Structure 1
Amino acid sequence: MINGESKIARLRWGMIGGGRTGQVGYKHRTGALRDGTYQLICGAFDLDVERGREFGVNIGVASDRCYADYKELIAKETARPDGVEVVSIATPNFTHFEITKACLEAGLHVICEKPLFFTVEECEEVRKIAEEKGLIIGVTYGFTGHPLVEQMAVMVKKGMLGDIRIVDLQYTHGFNAGDDTNASEAQKWRTNPKTSGPTFVLGDIGTHLYYLTEVVLPHLKIDKLLCDRKAFIPTREPLEDHATVLMHYDNGARGHLWVSSVDAGNMRSHRYRFVGSKASLEWTDSFPNQLSYEVQGEPVRILHHGMPYLEDETNAIDRMGALHTEGLGDSWANIYLWIAQAIDAKKRGDEAFLKTHRYPGIEAGTEGVRWLENCVRSADAGAVWVDFK
């Protein structure tokens, strides 16, 4: 069980974006600051310089280290002996590549929002820079740090489900069921192709589902997929606010993924179901403490987080204990901790640790972009099957 002890030296951390009007900044700070592994020392929090400075001071950052933009942050922080070591990028999608590349070239580790970039080519370019500089790139896939996600992965690895046959995934909500007339700043850029990229909900929430399957089912690869997407609010075209993706895996399994931001009234959000030849697993963030384990011909078992009957790997990343809710903030804390451990290992030159250490890094970000490219290629061709490449 995680209790906040750490042998890692505290990382000097900054944020680009994530200010008062952002939707994800607080989640980043919740994750990073939970264990004391990161110290927030600087930021370029907002395009509105004064609003960003006021915000930074209100959360404990010195006024002279609240910068106008990422360029000023990089220039001034890298000139300091106590300058920033790692930055989190919580800005609109179209800025990720430019900012990440600049930070890496300046010698800074990067933690970036998803989708990482617009193209696989951009991912490969950035990967090369990170490797040459000896730096870590982390990507924030929210619920993949939850203990019961780890439990599912271990149970699949042990063969407790048998051969995987069906993958059924859902991440939907109704907060964009109306038009964008009164949309917030943070919402408007998500429905604009120039700032969001080639997708809306596929990139915004669908990539969470896809990466979780990579965690739970690392041995399965997609052979081909079919994507059908639609904008129920016409002003969002050519982006989608609703999409369905069918996937054929290399072992013969079939996958179904549904993402939508126009699922009016729905507050259940995430649901994951993995069906094997012997048994099934189902987990939802509506009941984050519970994992349903359903063996054919036997009563349903409800596994509860924090209990000794779970796998050792599961309880090693539990934070709250069995009587208390383990939630999204705890999952983000695990992700930030895993990235910090990767940065620490990279700084020490411990490549052996990095080869076995799981965290959402450049590979995860690249594969998420690859999945999006294939989805767009299928949808734009008229919702046809395409070979995954």
Structure 2
Amino acid sequence: MLNGEKKIARPLRWGMVGGGRLGQVGYKHRIGALRDNTAFTLVAGAFDIDPERGKDFGVNLGVDESRCYENYQTMFAQEAEKEDGLEVVSIATPNGTHYEITKAALEAGLHVICEKPLFFTSAEGEEIKALAEEKGKIVGVTYGFSGNQLLLQMRAMIEQGKIGDIRVVELQYTHGFSSTEDADKFNDAQKWRVDPKIAGPTFVLGDLSTHTYYMSKLIMPDMKIEKLLCDRQSFISSRAPLEDNAFVMMHYENGAVGRLWTSSVNAGCMDGHRIRIVGSKASLEWWDSKPSELRYEVQGEPVQTLIRAMPYLDEQCNADERLGALHMEGLSDAWSNIYLKFAVAIDAKNRGDEETLHSLVYPDIDAGIDGIRWLENCVRSAENGSAWVDFSDQPVGSAK
């Protein structure tokens, strides 16, 4: 169980690029990083494309005015001159800026925590991975939902053979908040998400379902996709070629099949984020709206509801427990869990502790690259008339 005691020798000096007053995700990053005040300390930021607004915001967060910078280039350069300068930076900016900011941060000697999807192409991902290895730095990806500890319970039960051989994987992440064109016109955070120059080659596939895809990999690390088929739609025609709805069929190397539905036009839906894994003996199902419950359905037996934080759960699940079974946890706790693991990974990297890095389960650079490859194959399938494509036959992106 987590209780705020330090996991590393001292808090890491942390900064942000983006995540300002008008952003949708910045607060989630700060909740995650600062929940355990023994892991990170916010000391600097380039919070906004409007420097004055960014400075005002940073000061209101308690950051020294002199360390609220007008842009990330200035921040990286000036922080490098300080004895107490930045050690790690989080990137909470639109997708199209991730590559250049991540590269600049690594070249400035910083560890990086970046929003998803990581970059536009897997070639960019491989280039950044090589640079991170050269610099001896960590690149983490904020798949925030993956910090829900019952996902680790699912992982443990599958490893222990509790559901038998996996046969069917059912994934869904949908909502209805983009059901009308007005969502694109009046919401600044939505506008860039439907602009291919900024968002990249996908909308809901990258914005929503990369979360769910990574969570499925977390739960089933040994399951490899053999081929997939993607059928995507732009029900709001102005969003084309980006999709606001998509279905992805997947065939796995072990013979299992999978289906993913992602949508921002599921009208009336407040939270359609579910994962169901069907095995030869039993099934497991988790739903984001009930994050403290895991359904375990054994064929021929009554349905069991496993509750977060109970002693009958696996130790790798309860290691991330914070509040106890009587008190509900949710997304903010999930973000806190992955940020704490980022801190442990960074500390281990700094100390050359490869054993800890190897055993730690968290969304690292490889997870980010795998998510990009999955998106590349989804786009490739959709653009070829929703044809089946070999997942191992990776398209070649051009690194910048």
Structure 1: unaligned runs, 5 residues or longer: none
Cα displacement string for residues 43-94 of structure 1 (whole angstroms, at most 9, x for unaligned residues): 0000011111111111111111111111011011111111010000000000
Alignment of 1:340-379 (within 5 A): 340-379=343-382
Q: TM-score, normalised by structure 1?
A: 0.99
Structure 2: unaligned runs, 5 residues or longer: 393-400
Alignment of 1:309-324 (within 5 A): 309-324=312-327
Shift of 1:186: 1.3
Q: Which amino acid aligns with 1:150?
A: L
Shift of 1:296: 0.1
Q: Is the 8 A contact 2:7 2:344 kept in 1?
A: no
Matched, 1:22 2:29: no
Alignment of 1:64-79 (within 5 A): 64-79=66-81
Q: Which amino acid aligns with 1:177?
A: S
Q: Which amino acid aligns with 2:340?
A: L
Match of 2:123 among 101, 121, 124: 121
Alignment of 1:150-229 (within 5 A): 150-180=152-182, 182-229=185-232
Deviates more, 1:350-359 or 1:375-384: 350-359
- Alpha-carbon distance between aligned partners in 2 of 1:162 and 1:82, rounded to the nearest angstrom: 52
Match of 2:52 among 47, 50, 53: 50
Matched, 1:230 2:233: yes
Q: Which amino acid aligns with 1:2?
A: L
Cα displacement string for residues 233-279 of structure 1 (whole angstroms, at most 9, x for unaligned residues): 11111000100000000000000000000101101231110000000
Match of 1:93 among 92, 95, 111: 95
Deviates more, 1:251-260 or 1:312-321: 312-321
Q: Between the two proteins, what is the percent identity of the paired residues?
A: 63
Cα displacement string for residues 208-257 of structure 1 (whole angstroms, at most 9, x for unaligned residues): 01101111111110000000001111111100010000000000000000
Q: Which amino acid aligns with 2:60?
A: N
Shift of 1:182: 3.4
Match of residue 65 from structure 2: 63
Match of residue 382 from structure 1: 385
- Alpha-carbon distance between aligned partners in 2 of 1:126 and 1:268, rounded to the nearest angstrom: 34
What number of residue pairs does the alignment pair up?
389
Q: TM-score, normalised by structure 2?
A: 0.96
Q: Is the 8 A contact 2:88 2:112 kept in 1?
A: yes
Match of residue 5 from structure 1: 5
- Alpha-carbon distance between aligned partners in 2 of 1:320 and 1:182, rounded to the nearest angstrom: 41
- Alpha-carbon distance between aligned partners in 1 of 2:174 and 2:99, rounded to the nearest angstrom: 27
Matched, 1:303 2:306: yes
Deviates more, 1:199-208 or 1:180-189: 180-189
1:210 counterpart SS class: helix
Provide the alpha-carbon RMSD of the alignment: 0.8
Q: Is the 8 A contact 2:185 2:191 kept in 1?
A: no
- Alpha-carbon distance between aligned partners in 2 of 1:184 and 1:38, rounded to the nearest angstrom: 31
Q: Which amino acid aligns with 2:138?
A: I
Q: Which amino acid aligns with 2:3?
A: N
Shift of 1:183: 2.8
- Alpha-carbon distance between aligned partners in 2 of 1:317 and 1:295, rounded to the nearest angstrom: 26
Shift of 1:293: 0.2
